[in-house]
Amino acid sequence: MVLITDPEDERIADYRALTDVELRTRWEPPNGLFIAEGELVLRRALRAGYLPRSVLVDAKRVGQLPGPIGAPVYAAGQDVLERTTGFHVHRGVLASFHRRPLPPAADVLAAATRVAVLEDVNNHTNLGAIFRGAAALGMDAVLLSPSCADPLYRRSVRVSMGEVFAVPYARLDPWPAALAEVKAAGYRLLALTPAPDALPIQRLDRAARDRPALLLGAEGSGLTTAVLRAADHRVVIPMRAGVDSLNVAAAAAVAFWELTREA
């Protein structure tokens, strides 16, 4: 363990300005790293086989770390942590990890039977919650349009409770033409939409449920017209009491449960 007293120390450069979303999204993927926050997420990243670059920990919580880490461990007081990261590190543990190359979409599709396909989901909180729901409710993988947010961004990782490490994912590109690749792999494209002509999802027949690829759009705008046209079925979660829709992460969880309840 190395004690850090200067927030400008280059050894902890990976942790600077963690609250600056634009800076971090420009910095982390090109430099092949991501940040995990909290002891639980750290443990899950290690369990998933990600290689740590370093750990930055509140000096009072060094004893909470699993060991051995296999990377430098830097300890600092809360004042240094806050001045470095830009926020109060109340979980006490941050870790920088090496990213892994994303697998081809074809490999992910071949190893799965139920997938979620996300279009333009660029809210990190929603993305993390969708991954957590996918892991908890039996979806095998997640496919992302090129415009989706980074699943390994710190907030996504934290909201997912580290489940982004457990659910295989890949990018589908070009979009939406690559949806043809999903169909060719034997999946039925199910577009989740509040459209009045959509089929209540609980009424899907066995053939449509066999290899589902559930299409989910961004908060507010939903799926684009091109994606809706590409779908084999339009499905809806019936609403009551005049409510028109659910948050995309909540809707995803309900639909995941429905599609996997007989598995």
30-53 pLDDT, tens digit per residue, is 999 999 999 999 999 999 999 999
Round to whole Å and give the CA distance between 154 and 140: 22
Tell me which DSSP letter residue 218 carries: B
Token pair listed for 152: 């390994």
pLDDT band at 160 (very low <50, low <70, confident <90, very high): very high
Give the pLDDT confidence score for residue 63 in this predicted structure.
84
pLDDT band at 91 (very low <50, low <70, confident <90, very high): confident
> Tens of pLDDT along 196-235?
999 999 999 998 899 999 999 998 889 999 999 999 999 9
CB atoms near residue 174 (< 10 Å): 8
SS3 22: helix
Q: Where are the alpha helices (DSSP H) in 86-185?
A: 105-111, 124-137, 154-159, 179-184
- Stretch 17-39: mean pLDDT: 95
Give the pLDDT confidence score for residue 263 in this predicted structure.
63
> Tens of pLDDT along 55-79?
999 999 988 888 789 999 999 999 9
Give the pLDDT confidence score for residue 68 in this predicted structure.
84
pLDDT band at 245 (very low <50, low <70, confident <90, very high): confident
Mean pLDDT, rounded, of the chain:
95
- The burial of 43, by beta-carbon neighbours within 10 Å (0-12 exposed, 13-18 middle, 19 or more buried), is given as middle
- Stretch 96-100: mean pLDDT: 97
Phi, psi of 105 (to 5 degrees): -60, -35
- Stretch 161-165: mean pLDDT: 96
Per the model's pLDDT, the better-predicted residue between 54 and 68 turns out to be 54
Q: Are 227 and 215 in contact (CB under 8 A)?
A: yes
Q: Which residues neighbour 75 within 8 Å (Cβ) at sequence distance 6 or greater? A: 1, 2, 3, 4, 56, 57, 58, 59, 62
Looking at residue 207, its amino acid is A
pLDDT band at 80 (very low <50, low <70, confident <90, very high): very high
Instruction: Give this prediction's pTM.
Output: 0.94
